[in-house]
Copies of this chain bind each other. A is one copy, B any other.
Amino acid sequence: MRPESRSMRDSILAAAVQLFAQYGYHAAPLRDIARIAGIQAASIYHHYPSKQALLVEIMETHMQRLNTSLEYILKETDDPLQRLHDAIANHIRLHTTYKAEFFIIDTEMRALEEEHRPYILGLRDKYEALLQELLLDGMERDVFRRSDVKIASYAMIAMCTEVATWFRPDGRLSVQQVITIYRQFITEGLLHTPEVVAHMPDGAGHLL
């Protein structure tokens, strides 16, 4: 694609991301997307075949980004706990960096026409499978408590994904702080870790 068209193509996509996230796919008129991009509605069709194509491209790009990064973590790291930490950080970092894009993925699946839905759902299933692989491995190696792998993956994905709903770059917490808090919640839960140290003969060896 030549440079002069590449730029307008990106502007249109950026405008679509903004309005799809703000009003939802069906409530975002193509005219408004065009206006933000600085052209007429009809001109969009020189760059994209339909409104639906904009949605598919947004979802495809970022689901692939998510999958590629998790595949990299699984390939490069062996320790289950380190893998989990990296996966949580990766998920939250991407969902705060591409906040609007992932919010669209999370809320506009229904807006996908039959033709494209299986493909995008496949990408989402792939991510779940990768995370489940991570969790199962950690359970088999006795690092994680044995529990329902599917439910654990759903719960993790749901809570880390929702960060895209409320996170504000200028808010109370930095991305790194959010990651640290979620990491501890996911690994240790809400309850106090039992005070093991007090019962041990020599009082040595803090667990944390």
Contact surface of A with B, Cβ cutoff 8 Å: 22-24, 26-27, 81, 84, 107, 110-111, 135, 138, 142-145, 147-148, 151-152, 154-156, 158-159, 161-162, 166, 173, 178, 181-182, 184-194, 196, 199-201, 207
Q: In the complex the two chains form, is A27's CB within 8 Å of B144's CB?
A: no
A194-B207 contact in complex given A110-B23, A158-B159, C-beta closer than 8 Å: yes
The answer on a CB contact under 8 Å between A182 and B151 is: yes
A189 touches which of B23, B24, B186 (Cβ 8 Å): B186
As for how many copies of this chain the complex holds, the number is 2
Closest to A150 in B: B172
Beyond the given A145-B191, A147-B184, could you list 15 further A-B residue pairs with CB under 8 A, ordered by the A residue number? A22-B110, A24-B26, A143-B191, A145-B188, A148-B173, A152-B190, A154-B162, A155-B182, A156-B159, A159-B159, A186-B189, A186-B190, A188-B188, A188-B191, A194-B194
A190 surroundings in chain B (CB, below 8 A): 84, 135, 138, 144-145, 147, 152, 186-187
Q: A154-B166, A159-B158, A178-B151 are in contact. Are A145 and B192 (CB under 8 A)?
A: yes
Tell me what chain A mostly uses at the interface: helix, strand, loop, or mixed: helix
Q: Can you report 6 A-B residue pairs in the complex whose CB atoms are below 8 A from each other?
A: A24-B26, A143-B192, A145-B188, A158-B162, A193-B194, A194-B207
